[in-house]
């Protein structure tokens, strides 16, 4: 019987919830280096849940310098089966004002300075990213958001830019012409790596500002973003408690993420060295050690 375990990747303030008891900080090493910070293991209504601050506690890691591979590997080591990303984004549409949440179902990856795969050395795998988020986990997120009385949009396209600078006006207008909904700096390659690790992934984006395309918001101000971010975080804490309680009800045993590596690895068995198989043990040991 599979034990389903949920992890939240997001800001360090999301786990400051009084009801989270029996807190334990876990320090892990991975073949890809160290994750962003120690991972918090805690319980809510007797359910185990993990929290990983993406930028480290105190927000000291730039988006381009996040060790995404180590983060995903570490969570997989802990037996995590489901990840919900909670992240701040800018809005590319008039009807997505600051304070609104978006359950993202598509990404446009515009990053270029990040390691994007676990399968870079000797063993090659091609996983499908046509539908990068888990529909069943999105349903769980939607239920939690509704019960939290948060204004939200189901489905939306997230442009992931490199950063840490915000967009130019020309870039912002380009992304709007693509009909994208929000823009941020963190969900790629996170979503790709979660898929390679066969971990179901969902993204809840919290709008903090209109991107610079908006005539009244041509200069994105960090202090203003933080003000909305703190308000959003309070709402997100309520959502997360409901999500921890409900996510297992929505799990689909036929979710394509569950066994996606079965048809992804293309490298001939005789070309796979034990050194690389060992390195990939946490991520792909299920298929490589058969």
- Residues of the domain holding 227: 85-288
Q: 193 near 117, Cβ under 8 Å?
A: yes
Identify whether 72 is part of a domain.
no
pLDDT recorded at residue 16:
80
- Residue 286 above 60 pLDDT? yes
Among 4-13, 120-129, 141-150, the least confident range = 4-13
Which of 73, 70, 88, 85 shows the shortest CA–CA distance to 6?
A: 85
Q: What is the pLDDT of residues 96-109, one digit of tens each?
A: 999 999 999 999 99
pTM: 0.96
Q: Which tokens go with 6? A: 């949920």
pLDDT recorded at residue 219:
64
Query: Could you give the 3-state DSSP secondary structure of residue 261?
Result: helix
| pLDDT mean over 111-137 | 97
Identify whether 31 is part of a domain.
no
Lookup result for tokens 């909670």: 86
Identify whether 139 is part of a domain.
yes
Q: What is the pLDDT of residues 19-76, one digit of tens each?
A: 888 899 999 999 999 999 999 999 999 999 999 999 999 999 999 999 999 999 999 9
Identify whether 280 is part of a domain.
yes
pLDDT recorded at residue 265:
97
Q: 198 near 114, Cβ under 8 Å?
A: no
Q: 233 near 14, Cβ under 8 Å?
A: yes
Q: What distance in Å separates the CA atoms of residue 114 and residue 224, rounded to the nearest whole number?
A: 28
Residue 273 confidence class, pLDDT cut points 50, 70, 90: very high
Q: What distance in Å separates the CA atoms of residue 51 and residue 279, rounded to the nearest whole number?
A: 24
Identify whether 175 is part of a domain.
yes
Identify whether 24 is part of a domain.
no
Output the average pLDDT for the chain. Answer: 94
Which of 43, 3, 39, 41 shows the shortest CA–CA distance to 21?
A: 43
Q: 7 near 52, Cβ under 8 Å?
A: yes
Say what percent of the chain tops pLDDT 70: 97
Identify whether 68 is part of a domain.
no
Identify whether 8 is part of a domain.
no
Q: What is the pLDDT of residues 217-242, one digit of tens each?
A: 656 667 777 778 778 888 999 999 99
Q: What is the CATH number of the domain that holds 257?
A: 3.40.50.1580
Structural domain total, the chain? 1
Q: What is the pLDDT of residues 253-266, one digit of tens each?
A: 999 999 999 999 99
User: Which residues belong to the active site?
Assistant: 209, 211
**Residue 223 CB partners (closer than 8 Å, separation 6+):** none
* Phi, then psi, of 50 in degrees rounded to 5: -120, 145
Length of the chain: 290
């Amino acid at each position: 019987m599979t034990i389903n375990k949920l992890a939240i990747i997001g800001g360090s303030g999301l786990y400051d919830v009084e009801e989270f008891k029996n807190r334990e900080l876990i320090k892990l090493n991975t073949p890809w280096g160290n994750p962003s910070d120690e991972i918090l293991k805690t319980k809510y209504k007797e359910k185990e849940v993990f929290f990983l601050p993406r930028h480290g506690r105190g927000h000291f890691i730039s988006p381009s310098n996040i060790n995404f591979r180590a983060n995903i590997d570490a969570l997989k080591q802990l037996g995590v089966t489901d990840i919900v990303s909670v992240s701040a984004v800018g809005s590319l549409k008039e009807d997505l004002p600051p304070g609104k949440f978006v359950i993202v179902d598509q990404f446009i990856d515009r990053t270029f300075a990040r390691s994007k795969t676990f399968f870079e050395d000797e063993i090659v795998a091609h996983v499908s990213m046509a539908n990068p988020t888990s529909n069943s986990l999105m349903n769980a997120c939607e239920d939690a958001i509704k019960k939290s009385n948060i204004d939200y949009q189901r489905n939306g396209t997230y442009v992931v830019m490199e950063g840490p600078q915000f967009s130019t006006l020309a870039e912002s207008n380009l992304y709007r012409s693509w009909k994208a909904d929000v823009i941020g700096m963190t969900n790629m390659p996170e979503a790709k790596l979660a898929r390679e690790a066969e971990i179901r992934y969902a993204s809840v984006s919290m709008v903090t500002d209109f991107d610079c395309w908006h005539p009244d918001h041509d200069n994105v101000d960090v202090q203003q973003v933080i003000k909305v971010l703190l308000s959003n975080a309070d709402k997100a804490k309520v959502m997360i408690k409901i999500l921890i309680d409900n996510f297992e009800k929505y799990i689909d045993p036929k979710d394509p993420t569950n066994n996606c590596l079965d048809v992804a690895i293309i490298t001939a068995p005789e070309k796979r060295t034990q050194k690389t198989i060992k390195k990939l043990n946490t991520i792909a040991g299920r298929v490589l050690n058969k």
